[in-house]
């Protein structure tokens, strides 16, 4: 999955011949999973139709502050558009638009939106070679860069005039790659590696039966997604779970038993910076696994259980630089039990869920947690979606790491 997935991209199109390439540009952003809205300057409609761009972007195209012909038409709010965007791209950016952007002229919707936008703004100039070399254009590029806007430089090649030289708008693929790389480079956890466990484990009784639990895996998967959004590389060791994830930053390692989870965790633990063990691992497994289905009998069936290895405790013993986080699901004496686990397993942080809290626990979509750190500071949180809980946990880890 691209870092552009889910991003709100506002594409501003000005009146250059390269505007015809913006159809591909819109398509590429959509293929990356971005949401796209297009603003066109009135003159750019001579180069590509709004219908093409609205069809490809799956959104109406904006061009004027309001439509004079349609009295029911709403005013196009440039402030809303500017605030909506996670990033704005002006492509092609003509010499005329560049100079107006420098001056702060806002005589069309695109320019007014540019002035209102709080997000990163990228611009891809396109013009004839002499215009591109003109000192006034060079001044515009320098000023816009000084304002914090990001130049996607024009390339060399044959121009619409027939002349050959610098001034061609960068190709749509290159524009998207440029932005993707730039977004990636700014992610705060870029280069960090995280080990996560999620879901239940299944311990076989015979070929068709197992001992398991109701853990959905959602909390661990939400943590994986939230870490990935911040640029970290995730090793997600998952027990049987219906949760799905598709993100190139997340490596999913599927396991079934506690022993398989133990082996996988030890394989990755050495190279990670942070490890969070959110799985509901079986504490016991059948001592003998029948190799044929156990038949029903009148008498009581006894299955002898033996303890599984405690993965979290084993990692606590060998941890070096890793920040180690565990979960504790408790029904009584919650704080004391959680502190006991934190200390016994040599953790940096423990996430406590109390089954006395409605909406907390490992089966549902919400959770209510208290975080306890090694200095025994306790930070309680409200009932939240597991996606929001994941963000709270990550924020606290980052606070502690930066402290
Ligand atoms: N855990 C683990 N390996 C196990 C059992 C638990 O890694 N075999 C981890 C869980 O992923 C969780 C933490 O340990 O992060 C707490 O698990 P829990 O079962 O609640 O703790 P226990 O120490 O087993 O205590 P108890 O069952 O008595 O509450």
* Cα–Cα distance for residue pair 244/307, rounded to 1 Å: 30
Ligand 1 in reach of 279 Cβ (< 6 A):
yes
341 is an annotated ligand-binding site residue: yes
Q: Is residue 204 located within the same domain as residue 237?
A: yes
pLDDT by residue, tens only, the chain of 403 residues: 788 988 999 999 999 999 999 999 999 999 999 999 999 999 999 999 999 999 999 999 999 887 666 666 666 677 888 999 999 999 999 999 999 999 999 999 999 999 999 999 999 999 999 999 999 999 999 999 999 999 999 999 988 888 899 999 999 999 999 999 999 999 989 999 999 999 999 999 999 999 999 999 999 999 999 999 899 999 999 999 999 998 889 999 999 999 999 999 999 999 999 999 999 999 999 999 999 999 998 899 999 999 999 999 999 999 999 999 999 999 999 999 999 999 999 999 999 998 888 888 777 889 999 999 999 999 999 999 999 999 999 999 999 998 7
- Ligand 1 centre distance from Cα of residue 207 (Å): 26
Task: Tell me the backbone φ, ψ of residue 285, rounded to 5 degrees.
Answer: -140, 155
Are 132 and 200 within one domain? no
* Residue tagged active-site, from 59, 77, 213, 346: 213
C-alpha 133/C-alpha 75 separation (Å) is: 38
Q: Is residue 390 assigned to a domain?
A: yes
> Is the CA virtual torsion 167, 40, 113, 101 positive or negative?
positive
Q: What is the pLDDT of residue 243?
A: 96
3 within a domain of the structure (yes/no): no
The number of the ligand 1 atom at minimal distance from the alpha carbon of 307 is 8
149 counts as catalytic: no
Measured CA to CA, the distance from residue 159 to residue 166 in angstroms comes to 8
Terminal-residue alpha carbon distance, the chain: 32
pLDDT of residue 263: 98
327 lines ligand 1 (CB under 6 A): yes
Are 214 and 67 found together in one domain? no
- 283 has binding-site annotation: yes
Contacts (Cβ under 8 Å, ≥6 apart) of 329 = 280, 353, 355, 361, 362
345 annotated ligand binder:
yes
CA of 58 from ligand 1 middle (Å) equals 48
* Ligand 1 geometric centre to CA of 350 (Å): 11
Domain that holds residue 322: 193-402
Which residues are bridge partners to 371 per DSSP? 351, 379
- Is 245 a domain residue? yes
Domain count, the chain: 2
Boundary (domain end) residue, out of 185, 213, 247: 185
CATH code, domain with 57:
3.40.50.1950
**Interior CA angle at 398 toward 342 and 179, to 5°?**
145
CATH number at residue 291: 3.40.50.10300
**This prediction's pTM:** 0.79
Half-sphere exposure of 208 (CA within 13 A, CB side): 4
Cα atoms in the Cβ-side hemisphere of radius 13 Å centred on 382 = 3
pLDDT on residue 163 = 87
Q: Is 154 within 8 Å of 92 (Cβ atoms)?
A: no
The answer, yes or no, to whether any atom of ligand 1 lies below 6 A from the CB of 261, is no
* CA 111 to ligand 1 centroid distance, Å: 57
Instruction: Please check whether residues 340 and 391 belong to one and the same domain.
Output: yes
Ligand 1 atom closest to Cα of residue 258: 8
218 with 315, same domain: the answer is: yes
- 76 shares a domain with 179: yes
Alpha carbon distances (Å) from 59 to 37, 38, 213, 225: 6, 8, 45, 27
Specify the 3-state DSSP secondary structure of 191. coil
- Find the radius of gyration of the CA atoms of the chain: 28
Residues 209, 347 within the same domain: yes
Query: At a CB cut-off of 8 Å and minimum separation 6, what does 149 contact?
Result: 101, 120, 121, 122, 123
Same domain flag for 202 and 178: no
């Amino acid at each position: 999955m691209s870092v552009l997935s889910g991003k709100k991209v506002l594409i501003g199109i000005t009146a250059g011949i390269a505007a015809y390439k913006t159809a591909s540009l819109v398509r590429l952003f959509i293929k990356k999973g971005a949401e796209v809205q297009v603003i066109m300057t009135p003159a750019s409609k001579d180069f590509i139709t709004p219908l093409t761009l609205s069809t490809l972007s799956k959104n109406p195209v904006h061009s004027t502050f309001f439509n004079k012909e349609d009295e029911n038409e709403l005013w196009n709010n440039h402030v809303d558009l500017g605030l909506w965007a996670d990033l704005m791209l002006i492509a092609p950016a003509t010499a005329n638009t560049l100079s107006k952007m420098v001056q702060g002229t806002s005589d069309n919707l695109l320019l007014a939106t540019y002035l209102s936008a709080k997000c990163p703004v990228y611009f891809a100039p396109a013009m004839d070679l002499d215009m591109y070399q003109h000192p006034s254009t060079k001044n515009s590029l320098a000023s816009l860069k000084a304002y914090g806007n990001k130049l996607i430089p024009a390339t060399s090649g044959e121009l619409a005039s027939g002349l050959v030289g610098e001034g061609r708008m960068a190709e749509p693929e290159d524009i998207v790659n440029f932005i993707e790389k730039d977004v990636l480079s700014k992610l705060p956890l870029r280069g960090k590696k995280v080990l996560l466990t999620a879901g239940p484990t299944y311990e076989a009784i015979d070929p068709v039966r197992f001992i398991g639990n109701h853990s959905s895996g959602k909390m661990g998967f939400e943590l994986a997604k939230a870490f990935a959004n911040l640029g970290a590389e995730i090793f997600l060791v998952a027990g049987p779970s219906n949760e799905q994830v598709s993100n190139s930053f997340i490596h999913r390692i599927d396991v079934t038993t506690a022993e398989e989870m133990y082996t996988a965790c030890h394989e990755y633990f050495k190279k990670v910076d942070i490890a969070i063990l959110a799985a509901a691992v079986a504490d016991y497994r059948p001592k003998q696994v029948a190799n044929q289905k156990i038949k029903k009998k009148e008498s009581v069936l006894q299955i002898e259980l033996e303890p599984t290895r405690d993965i979290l405790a084993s990692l606590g013993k060998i941890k070096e630089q890793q920040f180690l986080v565990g979960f504790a699901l408790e029904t009584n004496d919650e704080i004391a039990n959680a502190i006991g686990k934190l200390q016994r397993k040599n953790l940096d942080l423990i996430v406590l869920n109390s089954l006395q809290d409605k909406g907390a626990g490992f089966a549902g979509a919400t959770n209510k947690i208290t975080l306890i750190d090694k200095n025994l500071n306790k930070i309680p949180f409200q009932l939240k979606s597991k996606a929001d809980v994941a963000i709270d946990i990550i924020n606290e880890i980052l606070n502690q790491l930066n402290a």
